[in-house]
Structure 1
């Protein structure tokens, strides 16, 4: 499973590099998805990142970030968590340099968000209060459902199987996730970097790459 996830991540990086030379907006969308998936493999969530405006990185800077991410994932996979987090600090530092905003401000926001998600206290109220049940009004049910993903939606978002996502829920990998009365997992949308709209744009870009690849076979012939 880890090898498959690594290969999918490498494919995403390749797509970012291709799109960076063709379509800036689509490159940004896929770039965010790539970052989200790399952090999720470490069980890390940085919600504030969804509000940060990315710039299109140069080939050299993208390659450097890609290498750091690879080392970070490898260290984590070998249970070298301290080393993985050292790479994470470098990863965030470089990411802050690839935005349209003040790098110093962005870096502080990312680190603050990371620390908040990792060390915040559990709320006093129980998730049971928010479980979808017949006792909830249709309007409230709709509002609660809009704030959460199903396991199948997260599986599609992260490129994993539904079964893998359920196991991750059982292990507490998704902060705030809970089971409904019917035994279905619900996962907070706010813990993910990308919004559903950004995911959709990234998916469209990747599909166009596949189509153009099949028809032309050469990056030079892409016209996205």
Structure 2
């Protein structure tokens, strides 16, 4: 049986793939959320993606990107991180081709962003016990449950990630509750709401049409 998180990610990809043949603009909006969740679940973070405007010139490009993600997951499960990183380069290369900019320039920026963020994570881990001052503006933070819903992980996983310093600027309140800066995430609340509206409509259509095995590729 496919784990719940993987099932949800497969549904996201299926939604993008379906929309890419019906309404490209909607598909592009959902694609960005799908890519964010994809990289987060794989354990890779490239903040530069937040500034990209992804374009779907050919539905096949979405299928290719999806297949690369599956291969990365397979190699990570086999504990072959070296091959997983090689596939990640292919993943970022494919993303670079799905923009209206020079693919070679965008690819370099994504790789640099990945490397820089990895270095920052290492530094944060070494400073995890050093007190940090936070400007606590309620609207600029997520609770663990809100972050979990946003990227498709469990509350417990999000809290463990906080403990390990995976989120820049995350801190505990006096009551012992984690608060995570929204700046750690690529998509905005409004983008998430629009994506959810797309998924809800697709679920309704699928329900009316009957059960379809979307994953028998």
The TM-score with structure 1 as length reference comes to 0.82
Q: In the alignment, does 2:5 pair up with 1:5?
A: yes
Report the CA distance between 1:181 and its aligned residue: 2.0
Aligned residues: 208
- Equivalent pair of 1:46/1:113 in contact (CA under 8 Å): yes
In the alignment, structure 1 residue 192 sits paired with structure 2 residue 185:
yes
- Does 2:155 align with 1:159? no
Q: Distance in 1 between matches of 2:211 and 2:127?
A: 56
User: 5+ residue gaps in structure 2?
Assistant: 213-217
Any conservation in 2 of the 1:45–1:193 contact (CA below 8 Å)? no
Structure 1, unmatched stretches of 5+, are 131-139, 220-224
Tell me the residue number matched to 2:170: 177
Task: List, as ranges, runs of 4+ consecutive aligned residues in structure 1 with deviation greater than 6 Å.
Answer: none
Residues 37-186 of structure 1 aligned to structure 2 (within 5 Å): 37-120=37-120, 121-122=123-124, 126=130, 128-130=132-134, 141-142=136-137, 145-186=138-179
Question: What residue in structure 2 maps to residue 215 of structure 1?
Answer: 208
- Cα distance in 1 for partners of 2:191, 2:141 equals 16
Higher relative contact order (CA 8 A, sep 6+): 1
Say what the alpha-carbon RMSD is for the aligned residues: 2.6
Deviation at 1:216?
4.3
